[in-house]
Structure 1
Amino acid sequence: MDLKGARSRKNHVHHLVLVPCPLQGHLTPMFHLANLLLSRGFAVTVIQIPSPSWRSLDCTHPNPSFPSLFFEPIADGVACDDDASNAGEDVMSFLLELNSKCREPFRDCLDRVASSAPRGCISCLIHDAVMYFPVDVVEDLSIPRLVLRTSTAANFLGLSLLDQKGFLPPQGTRLVEMLQELPSMRVKDLPLFDKCKQASTEEVLIKIHKGTTTASAIIWNTLTCLEQPSLDKISATLSVPIFPIGPLHRLSAEIMVTWAPENQKIEEGRTGYSAATDEVPRRWAEDRSCIEWLDLHPPGSVVYVSFGSLVTLSESELTEISEGLAESGRPFLWVIRARPVNSASLEAIRELTNTSKRGKITSWAPQREVLAHRSVGCFWTHSGWNSTLESMSEGVPMLCWSYVGDQRIISRLVSGVWKVGLELEVDDGIDSGPLNGSKVASAIKRIMSDEEGREMKRKAMALKEQIDVSLRQSGSSRQFLDKLVAFIHQLA
Structure 2
Amino acid sequence: MENQTGITGGRRQRIILFPLPYQGHINPMLQLANLLYSKGFSITILHTNFNKPKTSNYPHFTFRFILDNYPHDERYSNIPVQGMGSFSRIFLFNQEGADQLPHQLELELSQKDEPHVSCLITDALWHFAQSVADSLSLPRLVLRTSILFCFIVYASIPLLADLGYLDHSNNKHPEEQVVEFPMLKVKDIMKTGFKREGNAIEEVIDNMVKQAKASSGIIWNSFKELEEPELETILRDIPAPSFLIPFPKHFTSSSSSLLELDRTFFPWLDQQPPNSVVYVSFGSVAQVDEEHFLEIAHGLVDSKQSFLWVVRPGFVNGSTWVKPLPDGFVGEKGQIVKWAPQQEVLAHEAIGAFWTHSGWNSTFESVCEGVPMICSPFWGDQPLDARYMSDVAKVGVYLENGWEREDISNAIRRVIVDEDIRERARVLKQKLDASLSKGGSSYVSVESLVAYISSL
Q: CA deviation at 1:444?
A: 1.0
After superposition, what is the alpha-carbon deviation per residue over 1:403-434, rounded to whole angstroms, capped at 9, x for unaligned?
001101110111101111101112xxxxxx2x
In the other structure, the counterpart of 1:19 is 18
In the other structure, the counterpart of 2:177 is 178
In the other structure, the counterpart of 1:448 is 416
Structure 2 counterparts to residues 123-202 of structure 1, below 5 A: 123-166=118-161, 167-170=165-168, 173-174=171-172, 175-190=174-189, 192-194=191-193, 198-202=198-202
Aligned CA distance change for structure 1 residues 120 and 387 (closer, same or farther; 3 Å): closer
CA distance in 2, matches of 1:189, 1:76: 37
Aligned CA distance change for structure 1 residues 182 and 372 (closer, same or farther; 3 Å): same
Q: CA deviation at 1:190?
A: 3.6
After superposition, what is the alpha-carbon deviation per residue over 1:259-291, rounded to whole angstroms, capped at 9, x for unaligned?
xxxxxxxxxxxxxxxxxx555322111100122
SS at match of 1:123: strand
Structure 2 counterparts to residues 20-59 of structure 1, below 5 A: 20-52=19-51, 54=53, 57-58=54-55
TM (normalized to structure 2)? Answer: 0.91
After superposition, what is the alpha-carbon deviation per residue over 1:179-218, rounded to whole angstroms, capped at 9, x for unaligned?
4443422333348542889511121112111211100111
Contact 1:326 1:353 in 2 (8 A): no
After superposition, what is the alpha-carbon deviation per residue over 1:36-88, rounded to whole angstroms, capped at 9, x for unaligned?
1111111111101122352xx13xxxx5x423311111254356989969332
CA distance in 2, matches of 1:94, 1:346: 25
Aligned CA distance change for structure 1 residues 22 and 82 (closer, same or farther; 3 Å): farther
User: Which of the numbers 105, 120, 124 marks the counterpart of 2:100?
Assistant: 105
SS at match of 2:326: helix
Contact 1:15 1:117 in 2 (8 A): no
Give the share of equivalent positions with the same residue, in percent: 36
CA distance in 2, matches of 1:385, 1:323: 27
Q: CA deviation at 1:170?
A: 4.3
Aligned CA distance change for structure 1 residues 436 and 3 (closer, same or farther; 3 Å): farther
CA distance in 2, matches of 1:384, 1:26: 11
- Is the deviation greater in 375-384 or in 93-102? 93-102
Gaps of 5+ in 2: none
CA distance in 1, matches of 2:421, 2:327: 30
Q: CA deviation at 1:112?
A: 2.2
CA distance in 2, matches of 1:351, 1:77: 42
Say whether 1:68 aligns with 2:42: no
Contact 1:290 1:365 in 2 (8 A): no
CA distance in 2, matches of 1:223, 1:190: 25
CA distance in 1, matches of 2:339, 2:77: 17
The aligned amino acid for 1:21 is: L
The aligned amino acid for 2:405 is: G
CA distance in 2, matches of 1:389, 1:485: 23
Return the structure number with greater strand share: 2
After superposition, what is the alpha-carbon deviation per residue over 1:88-146, rounded to whole angstroms, capped at 9, x for unaligned?
24222121012112221111111222233557842211110111121211111111111
Structure 2 counterparts to residues 38-437 of structure 1, below 5 A: 38-52=37-51, 54=53, 57-58=54-55, 65-78=57-70, 86-116=81-111, 121-166=116-161, 167-170=165-168, 173-174=171-172, 175-190=174-189, 192-194=191-193, 198-245=198-245, 247-250=246-249, 252-253=250-251, 278=253, 280-344=255-319, 349-351=324-326, 354-426=329-401, 433=402, 435-437=403-405
Name the count of aligned residue pairs.
Answer: 447
Contact 1:88 1:311 in 2 (8 A): yes
Aligned CA distance change for structure 1 residues 213 and 195 (closer, same or farther; 3 Å): closer
CA distance in 1, matches of 2:108, 2:393: 44
In the other structure, the counterpart of 2:436 is 471
Measured on the aligned residues, the alpha-carbon RMSD in Å equals 2.7
CA distance in 2, matches of 1:79, 1:138: 26
Contact 1:24 1:282 in 2 (8 A): yes
CA distance in 2, matches of 1:325, 1:34: 38
Aligned CA distance change for structure 1 residues 158 and 233 (closer, same or farther; 3 Å): same
Aligned CA distance change for structure 1 residues 349 and 475 (closer, same or farther; 3 Å): farther
After superposition, what is the alpha-carbon deviation per residue over 1:321-366, rounded to whole angstroms, capped at 9, x for unaligned?
0111111111111101111112347565543773232111100011
Q: CA deviation at 1:160?
A: 1.8
SS at match of 2:21: coil
Aligned CA distance change for structure 1 residues 53 and 152 (closer, same or farther; 3 Å): same
Contact 1:335 1:362 in 2 (8 A): yes
SS at match of 2:143: strand
Aligned CA distance change for structure 1 residues 330 and 48 (closer, same or farther; 3 Å): same
Gaps of 5+ in 1: 254-276, 427-432
Contact 1:49 1:79 in 2 (8 A): no
The aligned amino acid for 1:173 is: N
Aligned CA distance change for structure 1 residues 400 and 76 (closer, same or farther; 3 Å): closer
Aligned CA distance change for structure 1 residues 66 and 170 (closer, same or farther; 3 Å): same
